[in-house]
Amino acid sequence: MELNILFFFFFFFFTISNAVTQFSPTDNYLINLWFTHHLISLNNRFFITDTSKPGVVEIVFTPFNESSFGYVNAIEVFSAPDRLIADTAMLVGFNVSEKINGLRNQGLETVYRLNVGGPKVTPFNDTLWRTWIPDDGGFENE
């Protein structure tokens, strides 16, 4: 198995209604993240896939119906080290300690990028053109 990191970048058009945008990535493990744009922001998406063919990443765009079309503005693909994502982790919470298996078969996406202990980093200051927000309001003391 080979891990690949995929970044999908979507740039919006004024002539296309973002409220009806649909996006559903699938792979050998059926990552199903179907949603409409008005429910979740769709500026870009980050996924890790586990492919069975080393050196091969196949990406297919299929319209949802006859009156739609598939598109993406930019794609970045990176090979990831085998140990980037552990296949097993412990879920720890109040009165809960549970082992979770099969994490490499799950789809992951970036929700936030926190710059812990530092200032906001804009795409102009990041080597991969990302935005990192400070952790000022990210954690609460109890």
C-alpha dist (Å) from residue 33 to 96, 136, 142: 27, 30, 34
Q: Give this prediction's pTM.
A: 0.40
Q: What span, in angstroms and rounded, lies between the C-alpha atoms of 74 and 70?
A: 13
Question: Cα–chain-centroid distance for residue 105?
Answer: 14
Secondary structure (H, E, C), 80-132: CCCCCCCCEEEEEECCEEEEEECHHHCCCCCCCCEECCCCCECHHHCCCCCCE
Cα within 13 Å of Cα(79), Cβ side? 8
97-139 pLDDT, tens digit each? 788 888 776 665 566 677 777 888 898 988 778 888 887 765 5
31-74 pLDDT, tens digit each? 433 333 333 344 556 566 666 666 676 766 677 777 776 666 66
